[in-house]
Amino acid sequence: MKQSTGPCVVQGGSDTRLRVICALAAVLAFSLGSFAASAPSVQFDTSHIGPRQMEEITGRNIPRDWGRAWQTMAVALDHNRPDLLGRYFTGFAQQKLKAAIAAQQRSGLRTRYIDHGHKLAAYFYSPDGSAIELHDNADLEIQVLDGNDLVHSERVTLHYIGLMTPAADHWEVRLLQSVPSF
Amino acid sequence: MQRLLPAACLAFCWMAALSLAAQDLQVPATVRAGSAFTIPTSGSGSATFYLIGPASRTKRQVQMGQEIQVKPQEVRSAGRYLAIVRSGGTNRSVSFYVLAAAPASLSFLAHPSRIPVAQRGGIIGVTFVFDKWHNLVRQPENVDFRLAVNGGPPASQTVRSRDGVAWLRMNSGSKAGNAKFVATLRGIEETRVIQQVAADPCHLQIKAERNAKGVLVETAPVRDCSGNPVSDGTVVTFTANGAGGLSTVDVPIKKDIAQAELKIPGPATISVASGVVMGNEVKVGGQQ
């Protein structure tokens, strides 16, 4: 699922100020986009979900927020920016990623995730709708950098178990744990 | 011959480097979270060891030919790890998985916090099983759920966790009061309190008595079908059908009883209801 900025359409030719604002917004969006990796594609399968059936809007929001979480995690680990994790990670997931970034900062390391997409499946959706457990097959290119030296590079498909809980207007990753298999 | 010698040396060195690179690092097949282990190495000289884990990054100098000691605190988080040894421009790496340790905590979600008694499947309990490093324990475990109100018969059920989650639906008990909803696993216990309140009134009974002002109607103590007193404030509706037509009065229950004074001069039939529950009818005569 690609994140996209909305079109900025100005009808008529009289409102110059609006055009300037749109132009500035477009420049800002472009510069932010060039810093942050785009959200990865996420295919979402709800055919084996239980015990609660997934609402249509939740079925759209879960893959959207899962993709955005991975996007922010990739930027945070690449640039050692723990402050980026606050929106899409919470609880132990956030604590662990912050610990990883703190360790990277101490040792001069960085980890770069080049995300080639996710096959996400809903596994358990709690009857009261307060938690969802997910199984993700993530196609990733992982690079480990010591300073600017590439220490390791690999392309792998990894299996992740995720636990998401709802926040005010989006879903947050509460647990992200890679596993050998499902 | 003089030309061949450097080429042969180069080839030998190249083969040696390839052979070194081909030597995989050996790690245990299974590593439990928070467990120390060693990685044997061969060769000589110093090297840089990297350990990349879900919540940790390690970089330190090691001596080739000696075992690399991986400390318990370096492998506390379950998940995939990368061990990399960098020596003389050659990188050797191996990936392995750290599995969760024994269960140490339960994350217990109970829903709802307030429920009428005797609701089939009305209470939901969901537990996620974690080890002491907050890793999800995927190995199946038996989680015991118990629901009890003081003085009431407890209900219990055992559920086997799958992929770290165990959940169930339970009926609410027959006795009103604060119910303890407990999830237990290997001595780990988590308790939530669910307030069980009386359900809808059952067998509404009224009596009516004419006095100087009108007709005094009063319910018998209002109880649900399990015998629990219905909460104060629950509305009871009295309806009088007389010569003057229908008149209706809504009255809240106070101390188990609802009562009202109906100003009806003539004979009437008075009925009672609360929610969808109907009670008896009584007939009263006109004023003398």
**Per-residue model confidence (pLDDT) at position A27:** 47
Is-contact B97 B83, C-beta < 8 A? no
The 10s digit of each residue's pLDDT in B239-250 is 999 888 888 999
At B82, list the tokens: 């990368």
- pLDDT at position B243 is 83
Residue B136 has pLDDT above 80, yes or no: yes
pTM: 0.80
Cβ count within 10 A of residue B7: 9
For chain B, the average pLDDT equals: 90
- What's the fold here for domain B4-99? Immunoglobulin-like (2.60.40)
User: For chain B, what are the domain ranges?
Assistant: 4-99, 103-197, 201-284
Name the closest residue on chain B to residue A181, using Cα atoms: B97
Contact (CB<8Å) B57/A130: no
For residues A49-65, give the mean pLDDT.
94
Q: In terms of CA atoms, which chain A residue is nearest residue B85?
A: A151
Question: Above 80 in pLDDT, residue A19?
Answer: no
**Other CB atoms within 10 A of residue B58 CB:** 20
What pLDDT score does B11 carry? 54
State the complex-level ipTM. 0.81
Q: Do B165 and A100 touch (CB under 8 A)?
A: no
Instruction: Indicate the class that CATH gives domain B201-284.
Output: mainly beta
Q: How far A107 CA sits from the closest chain B CA (Å)?
A: 6
Q: Which of A77, A96, A164 to mutate to test the interface with B (most CBs of B within 10 A)?
A: A96
Domains B103-197 and B201-284 share a fold: yes
Task: Give the mean model confidence (pLDDT) for residues B188-216.
Answer: 92
Would you state the torsion angle of the CA atoms of residues A65, A68, A74, A78, taken in this order, to the nearest 10 degrees? -130
- CB B232, CB B252: distance < 8 Å: yes
Q: Residue A3's pLDDT is what?
A: 33
pLDDT in tens, B139-170: 999 999 999 988 878 999 999 999 999 999 99
Across the range A107-122, mean pLDDT stands at 97
Residue of B nearest to A98 (CA): B55
Give domain B103-197's CATH architecture.
Sandwich (2.60)
Q: Which residues of A touch B135 (CB under 8 A)?
A: 177
A151-157 contacts: CB < 8 A, separation 24 or more? A151/A109, A151/B50, A151/B84, A151/B86, A151/B91, A152/B50, A152/B52, A152/B82, A152/B84, A152/B91, A152/B93, A154/B93, A155/A116, A156/B95
pLDDT digit string, tens, across residues B33-57: 999 999 999 889 999 999 999 999 9
DSSP 3-state percent helix, strand, coil across chain A (nearest 5): 35, 35, 30
**Per-residue pLDDT at B20:** 45
What are the structure tokens assigned to B51, written together? Answer: 């350990």
Q: Which of A93, A63, A71, A58 is nearest to A140 (CA)?
A: A71
